Structure 1
Amino acid sequence: MTSAILPPLPVQPPGVDWPTLSWSRGPLPPSVDAERLARLIDHGFTDFEETHAVVVVQGGRLVLDRYGPAHGPEATCLSWSMAKSITHALVGIAVGDGLLDIMAPAPVPEWRSPGDPRGAITTDQLLRMSSGLRFSEVYEPDKTSDTIEMMWGSGKADVAHYAASQPLDHPPGTFFSYSSGTTNIICRILADVTGLRGEAFAAFMRERLFEPLGMRTPVPKFDPAGTFIGSSFCFASGQDFARFGLLYLRDGVWNGRRLLPEGWVDYARTQTFQQAGVTDDPYGAHWWLGLGGEGSFSANGHEGQFTLLAPDLDLIIVRHGRTGAALKDALKVWMGEMAAAFRT
């Protein structure tokens, strides 16, 4: 699960407290043009419809945070698909516990009939959005959308069953197609291998992931079948998403305790095959790649939710808000410019 070409992950600097209780605050580095950064922040809060929170951490210290109207440090913000990266962490915990082999065929009941080609799909391929399953990841209600049908239509009672019932359009591992459905299949696999659903699984999330990091605000959502809707719904504050980002920037180790298996973060940021003609950004395993420059990786969510990690800068940038599709690309450029402001 490692790659020699990945940039190294930084360690917590000596003398900087882990933010389990509260963030250590620090000044901006002298190399940062403070006026340029201030202009970028103003741009971020005035030109992208609604911005609810921007949190910047460098060297393990909170160096900048700003909040929109009716928001503040403890305000719970939308996650949308940033929850997928939280799902990646939960899979890592299950792997570390010996409950799951991601390279083996995924344990999915709908695919167990003899001769069903879906039975060859691995959990790795689900994490890499390369299962080959049919799924229309569309958010406009006037278009055919498996995402909307799964979460608010006929599939809402059992989101994983809806996704797992889709036919195979491509041989597993040969075709990249971003799909919230595959994440919810993974979440039901987690429920099955742990034997936990609903509030019991939420308690597992708190005990094994959130509480060790000092994340006090997460609100995971579950379908009526008790499956964590890890494609879309784990709301938390901007500062708590920064804590989650710091866990990944520190290679899955928190204050001397390894929470994620060795190599799991490198697995997340190792690029997935994408066929010619794909217009999506590079992808790893439930993390996007390159938003903040070479070697960066990020948890991205609908309407402009981001937790961006730049290992070469020991930098985390969290942005929450509500930004429509027309400004999606401009917002991604802004995120890149925010990271670049620390690179000069």
Structure 2
Amino acid sequence: MPLPAQPADVPWPTEAWPQGDLPASLDRASFDRLLAQAFASEEVGATHAFALFQGGRLIFERYGEGFGPGATYPSWSKAKSITQALVGLLVGDGKLDIHAPAAAPEWSAEGDPRAPITLDQLLRMSSGLKFIEDYVPGHTSDVIEMLGASRGDVAGYAASQPLEHAPGSFWSYASGTTNIIARLAGQAAGDDLKSFMWERLFGPLGMKSPIPKFDAAGTFIGSSYCFATAHDFARFGLLYLRGGVWEGRQLLPPGWVDYARTPTFQQPGVAEGRYGAHWWLDIAGPGSFSANGYDGQYTVLVPDLDLILVRHGATPLDKKDALKAWVGEVVQCFR
């Protein structure tokens, strides 16, 4: 599906989001019902921020009690998509090759079966490394261990896991893979990824609120931790909805956004939904793609409607599917 260009009469939101209105064609009765579900009931958990942007304009926003447009919200795994953007910038600089072996020091021994794992396979969650992505307290969980007691070196923890499947043969969502990628990005950026983020990504987009977190080893915890306002998460989303272009300049390499939304092979039986390269696919219908985070954090891009949906809140695991369905229903109100 083609990506929409910024309308010629709409300023880029580098300084502030241009204001717009909900379209007259909106199914208002359904939209109001869904707002009530989000803010006046617990059907999809507690909603702290909800904002819609269409045609490059902010057309609607609402916040829960105690929250507002100036508040910073947790990314959780939405940070994975930010990590993918950082990799894209470094690929454009010629400092990373997604089809080359990822060259983790943990895999340097002669004959190590992990050595052939490529950056592309990591971005597609297809490295074959063992990693248990479980958020239920008391369950065996590599992600909880990595982000908790082992947070001193998140990439080292993840890269030390054994191989369970041949690289590229098995899809398994794993936050550890992102932190291996983030370490590679940091090395490629000259071991100052924080400055690189601001100079090459956040700054050009006018994102002033991001708070990325780093571990004790200096690695960006790209799996999970970059706080920002809803407006800034939408700016990042607009960069991708515009094909990596900002203010007429190609920031991300040509084709990088298409790479992000190209489906990854998944073996039969995968229940989580289709996946691209550190972006999820189809949550709001065919052609949509999204940055999804634990507890119900979403930045959803819908190219055919030129629409961005940002939602932050606290949604327990047992309501995760209800929230995903809610996102799809909200977007359907615009069709």
* TM-score bracket, shorter-length normalisation: over 0.9
C-alpha displacement of 1:279: 1.2
Q: Separation in 2 of the partners of 1:38 and 1:243?
A: 25
Amino acid at match of 2:226: C
Residue 74 of structure 2 corresponds to which residue in structure 1?
Answer: 78
126, 132, 143: which is aligned to 1:130?
126
Q: Separation in 1 of the partners of 2:199 and 2:28?
A: 39
Task: Give TM-score scaled by structure 2 length.
Answer: 0.98
49, 66, 72: which is aligned to 1:53?
49
Amino acid at match of 1:299: A
Residue 42 of structure 1 corresponds to which residue in structure 2?
Answer: 36
Amino acid at match of 1:169: E
198, 210, 224: which is aligned to 2:216?
224
1:188 and 2:183 aligned: yes
Q: Separation in 2 of the partners of 1:169 and 1:183?
A: 18
Q: Separation in 2 of the partners of 1:217 and 1:70?
A: 18
Q: Secondary structure at the match of 2:114?
A: helix
7, 13, 31: which is aligned to 1:13?
7
Q: Separation in 2 of the partners of 1:35 and 1:208?
A: 42
Q: Secondary structure at the match of 2:334?
A: helix
C-alpha displacement of 1:38: 2.1
Amino acid at match of 2:320: K
Q: Separation in 1 of the partners of 2:274 and 2:154?
A: 26
C-alpha displacement of 1:326: 1.1
C-alpha displacement of 1:71: 1.0
87, 95, 101: which is aligned to 2:91?
95
Residue 266 of structure 2 corresponds to which residue in structure 1?
Answer: 274
Residue 304 of structure 1 corresponds to which residue in structure 2?
Answer: 296
1:313 and 2:305 aligned: yes
Q: Is the 8 A contact 2:89 2:253 kept in 1?
A: yes
C-alpha displacement of 1:267: 0.3
Q: Separation in 1 of the partners of 2:213 and 2:148?
A: 13
Residue 205 of structure 1 corresponds to which residue in structure 2?
Answer: 197
Q: Which runs of 4+ in 1 moved over 3 A?
A: none
1:172 and 2:164 aligned: no
Could you say what the CA RMSD is over the residues aligned between the two structures, in angstroms?
0.8
Amino acid at match of 1:75: A
Q: Which runs of 5+ in 1 are unaligned?
A: 1-6
1:161 and 2:156 aligned: yes
1:329 and 2:325 aligned: no
C-alpha displacement of 1:141: 2.2
59, 66, 73: which is aligned to 1:63?
59
C-alpha displacement of 1:140: 1.5
Residue 3 of structure 1 corresponds to which residue in structure 2?
Answer: none
Q: Separation in 1 of the partners of 2:121 and 2:23?
A: 40
C-alpha displacement of 1:277: 1.2
Give the number of equivalent residue pairs. 333
Q: Separation in 2 of the partners of 1:39 and 1:210?
A: 35
C-alpha displacement of 1:203: 1.8
C-alpha displacement of 1:33: 2.2
Q: Secondary structure at the match of 1:294?
A: coil
Q: Which runs of 5+ in 2 are unaligned?
A: none
1:240 and 2:232 aligned: yes
Task: Give TM-score scaled by structure 1 length.
Answer: 0.95
Q: Separation in 1 of the partners of 2:239 and 2:163?
A: 35
